[in-house]
Amino acid sequence: MRNIKKSILAVALVATTCASMALPVGCGKKGANVDSSKAQLHISNFNGGVGNEWLNKVINRFCADYATYKFTDDTQGVQVWVDNHTNDGSKIEASIEGAQQSIYFLEQTTYYNFVYNDLLLDITDMVQEKLTKYGENRSIEDKMTKEQIDFFKTSEGKYYGLPHYEGIYGITYDADLFEAQSLYFDAEGNLGKKSTDSGLGLGPNGKTGVIDGVDYSKDDGLPATYQQFFDLCKMLKKRGVAPMTWSGLNKFYSTLFTVAMKTDFEGLEQGTLMYTLNGTATKLVESISEDGVVTYKEPTAISEANASEIYSSAGGYYALKFMEEIIKNKWYDTANGFNEAITQKGAQEIFLQSRYMGEIEDVAMLVEGNWWMEEATKVFNDMSDIPGTSKTERNLKFMPYPKATEAQVGEKQTILSANNTLAGINANIAGDEDKVRLAKMFLQYCQTDESLIEFVETTNMFRGFQFDIPEARYNALTPYAKSNVDMMRTSDIVYPYAATDAFYNHAASLDPAHVFNVETGYQIPIVSFNEGKTALDYFNKLKTKKIL
């Protein structure tokens, strides 16, 4: 037996809480005392998901680059202290006013709560300044999408925060397993090809190759439709391979994946309407027949007054139907899919180790967020004695979403950035010019192209900005990181927020994690389907939901 940790086989669930502790990073040693000859910078970092290695690297470079810089009249250089924690935005919001941390990297936040309560510093000058001192000709604002600017820039033209990273829920697949078992489709839709000879393209209009500078051939042979995905699952199960796994404890991973599928069906304009509550809905359902034929309503003007109608969007039905088929046919890791002992890290461990352990079933795919590889660092380390299992060697990739219907094949993919991330500066330092200057300099440094590229290299996922990666550095990325970069380059992005009173009035209801919360028995799709409810039952309940 190879030396692999077997914690995934344990059935006891131990509840833990994460204590946070501020430690000097980069410019000092663990346990070091305050160096009064240096300026002091305190940072609050959400340490789940993307972790802290990316931040430590930025700190190391910043300290080196500014080792002789006089941040105050009587200091030279900087000593940085990081409070790593797992507090969501609401907990930080309640404590930030009296905290010593100057800079915050957060997720699951309500940005305008921070803004309206004067908890964040105005950073407009830092955001709009050209980064010429770092050899760049763009500002941070120039690297943001229109949707990001519309949200983070207030009606007064001020910035109080920035996006942190793009949290995308989806499927990671084991490309080596797919290749070994010939799990790709050919141009006629037949399953059983190697990726190199599949011939099936997923580019615009089903074409393949390089189109408008994007190489769509990397996705050749993957399931293009829900039906092809189901055919893939059937083949895997027939061969004794569990098609997919997810956290049995944290079922919101599967729920947010369902929301992601809904968003891809709706596309950028209709997907964004879910949060702006202002526009014309073109995919609202009039009726669904018993055999699943959808009839649409006439285009409907949506405002805050009738916003509840957005819950009848067809994307919700198709996504629910997709998950119903997965559960009904048991196309998942049945030993752990509803096992309350399996956290998201446990699911990662099952996925990574399954092909190397005889005690558990092989697993082809993992339902997770695109940040999971950093979170699974310990598992990769535990497998280090097995050739070919390191992060750089495993051929793992983010799978493009299959389309609900044949008619949608070739449409541009639409992804949902679901984690409401935020980077900002504590407003309580506003009266200290030296602290403000240091905090702005560091936060700006984190958005330089070098820092953004380094983030990708470290976490295997994307930051929430538009930037280019030099070819040599792209080629050196892991297969998973490349698939993340490719996804961002070829997709439209829906952000689950809007800088409108209508959104702010209903922000809690519109959180992606709550989209499918309807009534007792219709709260978590996979649980409902496991209890025998149908997608049509669920969708009919969803259509009656009111935005509160």
Domain parsing of the chain, residue ranges? 13-166+418-447
What pLDDT score does 358 carry? Answer: 80
What pLDDT score does 198 carry? Answer: 83
Half-sphere exposure of 344 (CA within 13 A, CB side): 18
What pLDDT score does 525 carry? Answer: 98
Q: pLDDT band for position 489 (50/70/90)?
A: confident
What pLDDT score does 211 carry? Answer: 72
On the question of pLDDT at 7 being above 50, the answer is no
CATH of domain 13-166+418-447: 3.40.190.10
DSSP annotation of 169 reads E
In the predicted model, what is the mean pLDDT of residues 258-279? 97
On the question of pLDDT at 450 being above 80, the answer is yes
Most confidently modeled of 204-213, 276-285, 351-360?
276-285
Q: pLDDT band for position 27 (50/70/90)?
A: low
In the predicted model, what is the mean pLDDT of residues 495-502? 92
What pLDDT score does 490 carry? Answer: 87
On the question of pLDDT at 207 being above 90, the answer is no
List of residues 6+ apart from 219 with CB closer than 8 A: 201, 202, 203, 400
DSSP annotation of 430 reads T
Q: pLDDT band for position 97 (50/70/90)?
A: very high
On the question of pLDDT at 67 being above 80, the answer is yes
Dihedral sign for Cα atoms in the order 177, 182, 187, 191: negative
Task: Give me 459's structure tokens.
Answer: 């976490």
On the question of pLDDT at 283 being above 70, the answer is yes
On the question of pLDDT at 483 being above 80, the answer is yes
**CB of 357 closer than 8 Å to CB of 4:** yes
CA separation for the pair 208, 222 (Å, rounded): 12
CA separation for the pair 424, 246 (Å, rounded): 32
CA separation for the pair 66, 80 (Å, rounded): 12
In the predicted model, what is the mean pLDDT of residues 356-364? 89
- Apex CA 513: angle with CA 511 and CA 518, to 5°? 95
Q: What is the DSSP string of 319-388?
A: HHHHHHHHHHTT-S-TTTTT-TT--HHHHHHHHHHGGG-TTS--EEEEEEETTHHHHTHHHHHHTTTSTT
In the predicted model, what is the mean pLDDT of residues 151-180? 96
Most confidently modeled of 254-263, 398-407, 493-502?
254-263
CA separation for the pair 280, 297 (Å, rounded): 12
Radius of gyration of the chain (CA): 24
What pLDDT score does 241 carry? Answer: 97
What pLDDT score does 195 carry? Answer: 86
Look up residue 45 and give its amino acid.
N
Q: pLDDT band for position 548 (50/70/90)?
A: confident
Which residue from 391, 379, 319 is spatially nearest to 344, judged by alpha carbons?
A: 379
What pLDDT score does 205 carry? Answer: 61
On the question of pLDDT at 12 being above 80, the answer is no
**CB of 458 closer than 8 Å to CB of 51:** no
**Phi, psi for residue 477 in degrees, rounded to 5:** -70, 160
What pLDDT score does 18 carry? Answer: 34
What pLDDT score does 375 carry? Answer: 95
Q: pLDDT band for position 187 (50/70/90)?
A: confident
In the predicted model, what is the mean pLDDT of residues 352-379? 94
DSSP annotation of 204 reads G
For residue 42, what are the CA distances in angstroms to 4, 7, 65, 455, 509?
A: 38, 35, 18, 20, 34
Which residue from 299, 296, 264 is spatially nearest to 279, judged by alpha carbons?
A: 299
Q: What is the DSSP string of 35-80?
A: -TTSEEEEEEEE-STT-SHHHHHHHHHHHHHTTT--SSTT--SEEE
**CB of 476 closer than 8 Å to CB of 79:** no
In the predicted model, what is the mean pLDDT of residues 50-68? 97
What pLDDT score does 108 carry? Answer: 93
CA separation for the pair 170, 164 (Å, rounded): 19
Q: pLDDT band for position 86 (50/70/90)?
A: very high
For residue 201, what are the CA distances in angstroms to 119, 364, 502?
A: 49, 21, 41
In the predicted model, what is the mean pLDDT of residues 58-67? 98
On the question of pLDDT at 303 being above 70, the answer is yes
What pLDDT score does 196 carry? Answer: 79
Task: Give me 102's structure tokens.
Answer: 């100057």
Task: Give me 467's structure tokens.
Answer: 């930037």
What pLDDT score does 218 carry? Answer: 75
Lowest mean pLDDT among 169-183, 189-203, 278-292, 461-475: 189-203
In the predicted model, what is the mean pLDDT of residues 472-482? 96
Which residue from 160, 183, 344, 179 is spatially nearest to 252, judged by alpha carbons?
A: 344
What pLDDT score does 204 carry? Answer: 63
Half-sphere exposure of 507 (CA within 13 A, CB side): 16
What pLDDT score does 23 carry? Answer: 63
- Apex CA 418: angle with CA 423 and CA 139, to 5°? 40
Q: Considering the chain, what percentage of its residues have pLDDT values greater than 90? A: 83
Which residues share a beta bridge with 423? 105, 162
Strands 103-106 and 210-211: unpaired
Q: pLDDT band for position 509 (50/70/90)?
A: confident
For residue 396, what are the CA distances in angstroms to 108, 229, 478?
A: 27, 18, 8
